[in-house]
Amino acid sequence: MKHVFLCAGIVVLYNPSKKVIENIKTYFNHLNFLYIFDNSNKPQDFILDLVKKNRKIRYINCRHNKGVGYAYNYVSNIAIEEGYNWLLIMDQDSYFRNDDFKKIINVLKKDNGYFKKSVGILCPVIVYENENIDLLKRDEFEKILIGINSGSILNLDAYKKVGNFREDYFLDRTDFEYFLRLNKFGYHTLRYKGAFLYHKLGNLEIKNIFGFKIRVTHHNHLRHYYMTRNAIDIVKNYFFIFPGHCFYEIRSIFTDMIKVLLFEKNKLAKIKMILKAIFNSLLI
């Protein structure tokens, strides 16, 4: 039986700069359709102009920030109704290197039947801005337990079985939880080493301490609340299924506190939010 390959995309916006247009160009031509979900209070004129010029784009704006989980679920269900079976998920600050997205599409098309049956998400190698790494060309796959949403191509057949993204997470760790859930349901989550996505992580700063590179994101205090609260929720739900990752989540809470104390501004506000998240999570 021949499996038809149809891939739509979603890019979630929140008060974007004009650079988002250039980012979209790195993947738009290789999609069957693109949904722009705008969480901004007011649409940007340059986004509306882009939509007017392209029949392959639908613009959705709720005029307030409903979070990424809501956006993913809203568009995933529309895409399923309209016959698409894969969905590229993109952040506004992410972009593919050269023709790397085309390479991923060609990989999926070549063996679409296998991927639809077994793979929940296929994602590229993530390169964070301000990081210097050697970009090797290796056309191979590796199984991963977690990854980030941006640049990931979601199997919508798997989505129908696994269920919605967690809208209550709002932003942070929405991707981690969904990757874990896909694995819980028996789907593979794969990284394709032949494609690279450049991704902005907060106001990323790289610190070199005794030869170790430390990522300092400088997120605001509210982000630290959600990061901590959602990390604890993952531990509660997945500890006996994926204990190794859950120990990572526990460690990340303490390493984030140390990074805030050592390197970030507004230390008191951020530490208060982390402690508030821990306290609230333990009460629930």
Whole-model pTM: value is 0.93
Query: What domains can be seen in the chain, in order of their start residue?
Result: 7-199 (3.90.550.10), 205-283 (no CATH)
Helix (H) or strand (E) holding 236: helix 221-238
Residue type, 173: R
Start-to-end C-alpha separation, the chain: 49
- In the block, tokens 């760790």 appear at 173
pLDDT digits (tens, 9 = 90+) for 189-199: 999 999 999 99
Beta-strand pair 205-209/119-128 = unpaired
Q: Dihedral, CA atoms, 173, 236, 181, 170, nearest 10 degrees?
A: -30
Question: How would residue 1 be classed by pLDDT, with cut points 50, 70 and 90?
Answer: very low
pLDDT at residue number 100: 94
CA distance 16 to 104: 26
Task: Say if residues 12 and 171 touch (Cβ distance below 8 Å).
Answer: no
Do you know the residue count of the chain? 284
Model confidence at 140, in pLDDT bands (50, 70, 90)?
A: confident
What pLDDT, on a 0 to 100 scale, did the predictor assign at position 12?
97
Residue 2 three-state SS: coil
pLDDT (0 to 100) of residue 240: 97
What's the whole-number mean pLDDT along residues 138-165?
95
Query: What share of the chain in percent tops pLDDT 70?
Result: 95
Which pairs from 50-53 meet CB under 8 Å and 24+ separation? 50/21, 50/24
Separation between Cα atoms, residue 41 and residue 15, nearest integer Å: 8
Task: Give burial (CB, 10 Å; 0-12/13-18/19+) of 26.
Answer: buried
Going by pLDDT thresholds of 50, 70 and 90, the confidence category of residue 134 is: low
pLDDT digits (tens, 9 = 90+) for 47-68: 999 999 999 999 999 888 999 9
What is residue 8's three-state secondary structure?
strand
Coil vs helix vs strand at 137: coil
> What's the CA gap between 151 and 175, in Å, rounded?
11
Distance CA 195, CA 101 (A): 7
